[in-house]
Chain A
């Protein structure tokens, strides 16, 4: 029996601690960070630093999200605030560079498709520090979306491309990314969703409503587009309750638009949002994450966009692209939940574990 502890001791002695420096910037990053952070915290020899760039500065909502996702306060807040894309990206570059220079982490871990994602990828690449992109390979094919630019830059520079679905693997291969950099891990947001679902159901919120989220410039910045969307929502609201948590950028634009029976409410926390989706008759959205969460919950989703970067939600899930708002009332009326939940590979609540496996595996000598 004497050799076993000794062997363990030598194995530990030769394994340097691995330092992960997570960079998040906006609320949608947090449900992606949470499962990775928790899985890494359970592993021996991993230290973690969370940098919040402060791209979204609504502190109350951010704090409630942290609580709902059982995440600690970020270690570092860069406080960049809101600004144009160029200025915001610039501030993140300037403020993140000294942090990565001093920390020299084994990995800079970046999430999704916000300005912080692209900026952190540039900083790490220039400093010769490896970055890993969680939710790599998503493409809408529409470069007028600023998120698409962020995704493309992040994937081009990251050394490890952690993909949520097989179509993402294919997209990266078509862009010439080497096979050894692509790792299919599944969908981390679904980890957070499954983890939160029992707590959300315990809230016992009413069901049967239609949930709406809209925030994309292509929908809310164009007055005539926004008016036709709201007109369709008013028609839907004539038949069923319509609950519309209003994103701050949408609120200003809705000021002079008659919303009729649509219940506009303040932005909600993560658990409330899960409860609202879970109980919904259907969801109308232009968000990327909601398309996935509704598929995982088996809730019919109508995405008011021409493209989706998450095609698996259309081919295998409950999502449907609806460009013309006039079609919404009829589609919502006829919506039914599938009799069995869609099963998508890697949407199993274990993606965070696989992310950490990939980060640590690559670190072996």
Chain B
């Protein structure tokens, strides 16, 4: 049996890592194709090492471009790779352009596609990720879901029961694999923090592309930072926006993007997290760290149901929201967020 994994952007790798480790453990042949949709220095050899991953076998180097152009380049370059390797499963992850592009190519050529993290929906089609998710799920032959909510969503979309397999959250597998090592690197002490900080990440166009929206968020963060340290590892596009509009960051500490292990250490030691990332909502929930999500919608409703996450669409509410949170050390984790999701996923791939 042969698996061909397709990943394209940084958030895909913590999903790939536990699956590829498990597949290796049970002796399945595999090839990792990195489309190169997203590439930066943080995605170096050390990033792969942190996740227990070998570097990708094939890099398609598509680089950044508009959605259509990027999707197009992945399609053109992936087709010959797929025809050369002819895997039993093309395994795609999450909701990036490469996920959609590889799925389109494989389904046209009659190759079976398995989608890891299927059935996740924000309900907001203005998010490009939502478009990638719904097309991928419609075409994929095996829908490996992270939650029972995702199962219900897929059934409501008419997907046949035998294609839907609840396996749990592979991102949590990667997190639990990394958390012990993350504690040993001492990233928090390098930052010289005396109290548990608030960790912030923002990268969505809806938050960072509009100067007035970003200004309102920064204003709230300045107020938060007056009471407690705020650490903001800034995505390059966010940093560029802040500079372009000469925004006052006050006592907010902007730092360069951090490694996977550094982020795990930072989040685990945080008082709370403020984010618009999907992955960080999951990771903070799994670590029992309260999360405030600066968006109208979430594709991870179980993080809200278990009490760990809260949507704060209006940045003006952030200061009060931070003041009213308590850390939930014994919060129940959602079903299947147990570090065994990849084991179940690989079982499904072998038996389906």
Instruction: Please list the residues of chain A having a beta carbon within 8 angstroms of any beta carbon in chain B.
Output: 84-87, 89-91, 93-94, 96-97, 118, 122-123, 125-126, 128, 143-144, 146, 149, 152-153, 156-157, 174-176
Give the complex CA separation of A144 and B104 in angstroms.
13
Whether a CB of chain A sits under 8 angstroms from the CB of B158 is yes
Task: Determine if A149 and B73 form an interchain contact, defined as CB atoms under 8 angstroms apart.
Answer: no
Tell me how far the C-beta of B106 lies from the nearest C-beta in chain A, rounded to whole angstroms: 10
Q: In the assembled complex, which residues on chain B have CB atoms less than 8 Å from the CB atom of A125? A: 125, 131
Q: List 25 A-B contacts (CB under 8 A).
A: A84-B79, A85-B108, A86-B75, A86-B78, A86-B104, A89-B72, A90-B73, A90-B76, A93-B68, A93-B72, A93-B75, A94-B68, A96-B68, A97-B67, A97-B68, A122-B68, A122-B71, A123-B68, A126-B67, A126-B128, A153-B104, A156-B135, A157-B131, A176-B157, A176-B158
Task: Determine if B66 and A149 form an interchain contact, defined as CB atoms under 8 angstroms apart.
Answer: no
Give the complex CA separation of A84 and B76 in angstroms.
9
Whether a CB of chain A sits under 8 angstroms from the CB of B156 is yes
Give the complex CA separation of A143 and B107 in angstroms.
8
Which residue from chain A places its CB closest to the CB of B110 in the assembled complex? A144
The listed residue with most A CB atoms (<10 A of its CB), out of B134, B138, B157, is B138
Task: Determine if B126 and A128 form an interchain contact, defined as CB atoms under 8 angstroms apart.
Answer: yes
Give the complex CA separation of A94 and B126 in angstroms.
20
Task: Determine if A90 and B131 form an interchain contact, defined as CB atoms under 8 angstroms apart.
Answer: no
Tell which of B109, B110, B158 touches A175, judged by Cβ atoms closer than 8 Å.
B158
Give the complex CA separation of A77 and B71 in angstroms.
21
Task: Determine if B72 and A91 form an interchain contact, defined as CB atoms under 8 angstroms apart.
Answer: yes
The listed residue with most B CB atoms (<10 A of its CB), out of A84, A118, A146, A157, is A84
Which residue from chain A places its CB closest to the CB of B153 in the assembled complex? A176
Given contacts A153-B138, A174-B158, contact A94 B108 (CB under 8 A): no
Which residue from chain B places its CB closest to the CB of A171 in the assembled complex? B158
Number of interface residues of B (CB under 8 A): 29
Task: Determine if A153 and B139 form an interchain contact, defined as CB atoms under 8 angstroms apart.
Answer: yes
Given contacts A86-B104, A149-B107, A174-B158, contact A97 B135 (CB under 8 A): no
Whether a CB of chain A sits under 8 angstroms from the CB of B254 is no
Whether a CB of chain A sits under 8 angstroms from the CB of B105 is yes
Tell which of B69, B79, B156 touches A87, judged by Cβ atoms closer than 8 Å.
B79
Q: In the assembled complex, which residues on chain B have CB atoms less than 8 Å from the CB atom of A144? A: 110
Task: Determine if A157 and B135 form an interchain contact, defined as CB atoms under 8 angstroms apart.
Answer: yes
Report how many A-B pairs have Cβ atoms within 8 Å.
79
Q: In the assembled complex, which residues on chain B have CB atoms less than 8 Å from the CB atom of A176? A: 156-158
Q: In the assembled complex, which residues on chain A have CB atoms less than 8 Å from the CB atom of B135? A: 122, 153, 156-157
Tell which of A128, A149, A157, A174 touches B134, judged by Cβ atoms closer than 8 Å.
A157
Which residue from chain B places its CB closest to the CB of A118 in the assembled complex? B104
Task: Determine if A87 and B76 form an interchain contact, defined as CB atoms under 8 angstroms apart.
Answer: yes
What 0/1 pattern do residues 139 to 179 of B give for CB contact below 8 A with A?
Answer: 10000000000000000111000000000000000000000
Task: Determine if A90 and B107 form an interchain contact, defined as CB atoms under 8 angstroms apart.
Answer: no
Tell me how far the C-beta of B143 lies from the nearest C-beta in chain A, rounded to whole angstroms: 14
Task: Determine if A90 and B75 form an interchain contact, defined as CB atoms under 8 angstroms apart.
Answer: yes
The listed residue with most A CB atoms (<10 A of its CB), out of B66, B75, B105, is B75
Q: In the assembled complex, which residues on chain B have CB atoms less than 8 Å from the CB atom of A122? A: 68, 71, 100, 131, 135
Task: Determine if A146 and B67 form an interchain contact, defined as CB atoms under 8 angstroms apart.
Answer: no
Tell which of A89, A126, A149, A175 touches B75, judged by Cβ atoms closer than 8 Å.
A89
Q: In the assembled complex, which residues on chain B have CB atoms less than 8 Å from the CB atom of A118? A: 104
What 0/1 pattern do residues 101 to 144 of B give for CB contact below 8 A with A?
Answer: 00011011110000000000000011010010011001100000
Give the complex CA separation of A30 and B174 in angstroms.
52
The listed residue with most A CB atoms (<10 A of its CB), out of B67, B79, B107, B108, is B108
Give the complex CA separation of A123 and B67 in angstroms.
8
What 0/1 pattern do residues 61 to 93 of B give for CB contact below 8 A with A?
Answer: 000001111011101101100000000000000
Q: In the assembled complex, which residues on chain A have CB atoms less than 8 Å from the CB atom of B158? A: 174-176
Give the complex CA separation of A175 and B139 in angstroms.
12
Tell me how far the C-beta of B137 lies from the nearest C-beta in chain A, rounded to whole angstroms: 9
Which residue from chain A places its CB closest to the CB of B73 in the assembled complex? A90
Tell which of B72, B125, B156 touches A94, judged by Cβ atoms closer than 8 Å.
B72
Given contacts A87-B75, A91-B72, A122-B71, contact A149 B131 (CB under 8 A): no
What 0/1 pattern do residues 227 to 263 of B give for CB contact below 8 A with A?
Answer: 0000000000000000000000000000000000000
Tell me how far the C-beta of A289 lies from the nearest C-beta in chain B, rounded to whole angstroms: 21
